[in-house]
A and B are shown apart, each in its own frame.
Chain A
Amino acid sequence: GQNIDQPTEMTATEGAIVQINCTYQTSGFNGLFWYQQHAGEAPTFLSYNVLDGLEEKGRFSSFLSRSKGYSYLLLKELQMKDSASYLCAVIDSNYQLIWGAGTKLIIKP
């Protein structure tokens, strides 16, 4: 079966750095997405990786290793507004989008 694993919940301190990991076992790979979802709001697109390496976008970066079936989302200079759930999703060889259950990130002052 196809599977995506993310930690259920993480806690970090304002101003610090946090890394949210995502490992996947899918039938093929055509890209990986990260979405952010604040409580009661719509998920919004953060990043897309299809090649190995690090993609940086402001305070957020996303890394991909296809050989390891692994990605992470790195959030720097954490702010209280970064408290949200972070969803990892992989496009498999049939262009089906496989979702993880999401990581709830709690930021403490």
Chain B
Amino acid sequence: ETGVTQTPRHLVMGMTNKKSLKCEQHLGHNAMYWYKQSAKKPLELMFVYSLEERVENNSVPSRFSPECPNSSHLFLHLHTLQPEDSALYLCASSQGADLNTGELFFGEGSRLTVL
């Protein structure tokens, strides 16, 4: 138990569906991250929020849309995805508002399959 909870753990969707991934952290942290993890590839940073403000968007396609309604919750809205978007999506949080200055606490991920 890392203090970061992701739902759903598994998701299968068609290319025309709309779905959302949810992340909740119970650690009182100030920064939250979305990462994409594909087999045998480095983690890819997608979005970062610090103090509920988006501070980084690593050129992610617009079919991925993040939302951070408060410091404890982070969503990733999915729309018109492609099969190559199939991956494990990891949420993480860190204590400080300054990014990447401390360890990351990860959720167990949402395994997404796009048909």
Contact = CB atoms under 8 A, between A and B. Distances in A.
Interface stretch (B13-21, B65-73, B77-85, B98-106): B98-106
A92 B43 CA distance: 15
A44 B98 CA distance: 20
Report whether over half of chain A's contact residues are helix, strand or loop; otherwise say mixed.
strand
A42 to B, nearest CB: 4
B61 interface: no
A91 interface: yes
B90 A42 contact: yes
Interface residues of B, number: 19
B4 A42 contact: yes
Given A42-B90, A42-B109, A43-B106, A91 B100 contact: yes
Contacts of B98: 95
Interface of A: 4, 8, 33, 35, 40-45, 48, 87, 89, 91, 95-102
